[in-house]
Amino acid sequence: MNKYTLSKRQAVNELSTFYSFLAGFLIALVIGSIILLIQEKNPIDTFSLMFKLSIGSVNSLSSSLNKATPLILAGLGIAIINTVKLWNIGAEGQIFMGAIGVNLFYINSNLSNPTILIFLLLLSAFIGGAFCILIPALAKVLFGVNEIITTLLTNYIVIGLTIYLVNGPWKDPNSLNFPAAAYVGKEVYLPTMFGKLSYGFLICIIFTALAHYLKNKSVFGYEMRIAGGSEMTAIYAGINAKQKAFFAMLIGGGFAGLAGGVELLSQTHRVSTGISQGFGYTAIIVAAITGMRPIGIFLVGTLFGALSIGGSVIQTIGVSTYIADIIQASTLFGALVIQFFFNYKLLRVDDD
Amino acid sequence: MIDIQLLGLLNATLQAATLLFVAALGELITEKSGILNLGVEGMISIGAVAGFMTAVNTNNIFLAVIVGVLSSSVFASIHAVVTVVLKQDQTVSGLILTILGLALSSLIGKNYVGKKLDTKLDSFFSIDDPSNILQVLLSQNIIFYVAILLMILVSYTLKNTMFGRRLEAVGEDSKAADSMGLNVTKTQFIATCLGGAFAGLSGVYLTLSYVPYWTDNMTAGRGWIALALVIFGGWKPYRTALGALLFGFLEALVPRLQTYGFELNPYIVKIAPYIITILILVLLTIYKGGKTGAPKNIGIPFFRENR
């Protein structure tokens, strides 16, 4: 009788993450088709409609890129934190905190120069996101508290805080049906480049480059990688691992906060519970599927942004918008399965 | 005579604690085998919607519980395949299980939002005197007593049976367990599916009794609090139950504070349990000085080296 055993491959193809992603996406489309068939919808019609409405025209393409912007920025934040082998599940809350930061600065400032004001508002978004992860970061580096659970719980706290603010102190009396804060002035709206495409996407490109540099090219990135590796190596190299972990978490939180700031200044123009529609969670998929690579996050984030736009417009033909979420999550599961075959091979062993 | 309000608080505490405890107990079994499953929130959601849909369509509560438990268990097997068989990252897989579970349950439960149940998951006795403590304790939901039974059963199994010893051996040192001839993959697979079944039971309790209706994202972070409870309980069933009582008490107390004369903002009251959970986790970690009692192999995929 023959038995099989697993063996780790010595050399893993460098593009394996990319191939796994492609295969995972195909698997996800098959799963999505099955769900659509169960719901008695034609998958080909549905997917081609999603395709047409998400990237078929300049307007829909720019909507997709606008949608991708917060996904990418939050995903980059998760990837930076993962350099020290820590997880940020709190991007959703950080996005909200970024938007809260913008509004807090806006209603308390009397700057007249809009350019400087926009710059400072984006800075407060970054600080808001960093502030949001401060407690989990301190708890992690000082006492070793599991950051996965604490960052996740901050989501519920910040969303609760947002609901409090828009129903209480920041409530706009003119917004009757949907509790929200007052709109920010038109002078601080992020302008559009062409079509509906906001300058937020340009910020997103700049920060992708910045994250790539920070993670892969800078001294700090190198130190972060060592800090996330073995404890002994960090000590020998004279690197304060806890300090690196702390700053990585604050910077990563800041990226997600910036996502919320850009979303407010370019899309919603006010604080409400509609600032994020689960961007922080989708960003986890985007970051994980690319193996935490900034440029990969940019590309997959763009695709997933288009998927989300496609998912939200097909509601009109009676297809649940959750189909986009399911395709995104299934893509990662599919990719994980395929990745296994890149990392391991089956060997046949003969019984003694 | 005991104050009725106080007994009401006790009643609400036990209900909230049951919900959290059953899910936490399942996660405890899974983690004991060295597998971390962050998908509790998604698994509860799947069990909740599957049980609710079955109950609405068949009016058969028993069948609804079975379907809810089984669907969560099958759903958890995705995590088992990806992490146990294919040895992929447990954190990633668990997180995606949560995202997928929430999306999938919202999708299939879409037409059930706002539907009413004709029969609920009930208690053996009904209360006719809410000021009698014995009656309050005896009139709890069936799942409450099931949870107590499960607590005793799981604790006994972990300590005194072959399956329990095997689970512990695999979770502490899978390589040694393997060389002793234990089937690591099988043990971890079973433990993961069992964890899913428990989460499913918690889910059906949520939609068939605790709330009882179905709406999107109604798990509201309880799966994550269950995960925190396992840490709180130091991977021991009885201590986890104690933690569940504490968390259940907080969940029951906070909305009642107003009746005791505290002026609280209702929006702030809603976020208090999450703040307290973080606070307790921090205090607990400081108190234990980093020695949490976690299974040593947790999160590390088992891989038999070439021999």
Using the beta-carbon criterion (under 8 Å), do A168 and B227 form an inter-chain contact? no
A144–B224 C-beta distance less than 8 A: no
A161 domain-assigned: yes
In a domain, B298, yes or no: no
Cα dist. B206→B11, B102, B217 in Å? Answer: 15, 15, 12
Q: What is the CATH number of the domain that holds B129?
A: 1.10.3470
Domain with B121, as residue range(s), is 4-288
Minimum CA–CA partner of A289 in chain B: B92
Counted domains in chain A: 1
User: How much is the pLDDT for B290?
Assistant: 63
* Interchain CB contacts (distance < 8 Å): A and B: 127
- The pLDDT value recorded for residue A55 is 86
ipTM over 0.85: yes
List of chain A residues whose C-beta atoms are within 8 Å of the C-beta of residue B281 = 139, 145-146, 149-150
Cross-chain Cβ contact A157/B106 below 8 Å: no
Residue A298 domain-assigned? no
CA distance A290 to chain B (A): 12
Residue A9 lies in a domain: no
Alpha helices in chain A (DSSP H): 16-38, 43-55, 58-82, 91-108, 114-132, 134-138, 147-167, 200-212, 219-228, 231-236, 241-263, 279-289, 294-313, 322-343
Among candidates A7, A136, A157 on the partner chain, residue whose Cβ is nearest the Cβ of B274: A157
Give the closest of B93, B274, B275 to A336, CB-based: B93
The whole-angstrom separation of Cα A217 and Cα A221 is 7
Average pLDDT over residues A309-334: 85
Contact list in B for residue A143 (CB cut-off 8 A) is 282, 285-286, 290
**Is residue A312 domain-resident?**
no
Cβ separation of A5 and B304 shorter than 8 Å?
A: yes
B76 to each of A327, B28, B122, B201, how far by Cα in Å? 18, 14, 27, 13
Q: Give the alpha-carbon dihedral of A331, A336, A342, A343, to 10 degrees.
A: 160
Looking at residue A3, its pLDDT comes to: 67
- Phi/psi for A124 (5° steps) reads -70, -30
- Spell out a b/e string for A38-75, using b for 16 or more CB atoms within 10 Å of the CB, else e: ebebebeebbebbeebbbeeeebbbbbbbbbbbbbbbb
CA distance B282 to chain A (A): 6
pLDDT, tens digit, 9 for 90 and up, residues A271-317: 999 899 889 999 999 999 999 999 999 999 999 999 988 888 887 77
Is residue B207 left, alpha or beta, with left meaning phi > 0 and alpha meaning psi from -120 to 50? alpha
pLDDT in tens, A209-242: 999 999 999 999 988 888 888 778 888 888 888 9
- Contact B49/B67 with Cβ under 8 angstroms? no
Alpha-carbon distance B184 to B179, whole Å?
A: 10
B194 CB contacts (<8 Å, ≥6 apart)? B26, B29, B30, B73
**Chain B interface with A: residues with Cβ < 8 Å:** 38, 78, 81-82, 86-89, 91-93, 95-96, 99-100, 102-104, 106-107, 110, 220-221, 224, 227-228, 231, 265, 267-268, 270-271, 274-275, 277-278, 281-282, 285-286, 290, 303-304, 306
In a domain, A344, yes or no: no
Hey, are the CB atoms on A160 and B224 less than 8 Å from each other? no
The shortest C-alpha distance from A346 to chain B (Å) reads 11
pLDDT digits (tens, 9 = 90+) for A103-135: 999 999 888 898 999 999 999 999 999 999 999
CB neighbour list of residue A289: distance below 8 Å, 6 or more residues apart: A17, A21, A24, A296, A300, A331, A332, A335
Whole-angstrom distance, CA of residue A245 vs CA of residue A251: 10
Is A5 within 8 Å of B220 when comparing Cβ atoms?
Answer: no
Determine the distance in angstroms separating the CA of A56 from the nearest CA of chain B, rounded to an integer. 26
Give how far Cα B280 sits from Cα of A99, B16, B275, Å: 28, 18, 9
Domains in chain B, number = 1
- State how far the alpha carbon of A286 is from the alpha carbons of A58, B68, B82, B233, in Å: 24, 30, 18, 33
Checking if the pLDDT of A190 tops 60, the result is: yes
B299 lies in some domain: no
Q: Please, which residues bridge with residue A181 across strands? A: A171
CB atoms within 10 A of CB B82: 24
Q: Which of B78, B88, B290 sits opposite A340 (nearest CB)?
A: B88
- Return d(Cα A151, Cα B175) in angstroms, integer: 32
Answer yes or no: do A336 and B86 touch at CB < 8 A: yes
From first to last of its 307 residues, chain B has per-residue pLDDT tens of 467 788 888 888 999 999 999 999 999 999 999 999 999 999 999 999 999 999 999 988 899 999 999 999 999 999 999 999 998 989 999 999 999 999 999 988 888 888 888 777 777 777 677 677 777 787 888 899 999 999 999 999 999 999 999 999 999 888 888 888 888 999 999 999 999 999 999 999 999 988 888 888 888 889 999 998 998 888 999 999 999 999 899 888 877 877 777 777 878 888 888 898 899 889 988 887 766 677 888 877 877 764 4
Cα four-point dihedral sign A18, A19, A24, A27? positive
> By CA distance, what is A315's nearest residue in B?
B107
The whole-number pLDDT of residue B306 equals 44
Contact B271 A161 (CB under 8 A): yes
Neighbour count for residue A326 (Cβ, 10 Å) = 21
Q: Is residue B306 situated within a structural domain?
A: no
* C-alpha pair distances (Å), B28 with each of A7, A259, A343, B22, B71: 30, 36, 30, 10, 19
Nearest to A329 among B86, B103, B231 (CB): B103
Residue A272 falls in which region: left (phi positive, over 0), alpha (psi -120 to 50) or beta? beta
Please indicate whether, in this complex, the C-beta atoms of A329 and B99 are within 8 angstroms of each other: yes
Rounded CA separation B143/B19 (Å): 9
Q: Give the structural domain span for A205.
A: 64-290
Q: Is the pLDDT of residue A344 over 70?
A: yes
| Chain A neighbors of B76, CB-CB under 8 A | none
CA atoms of A304 and A335, how far apart (whole Å): 15
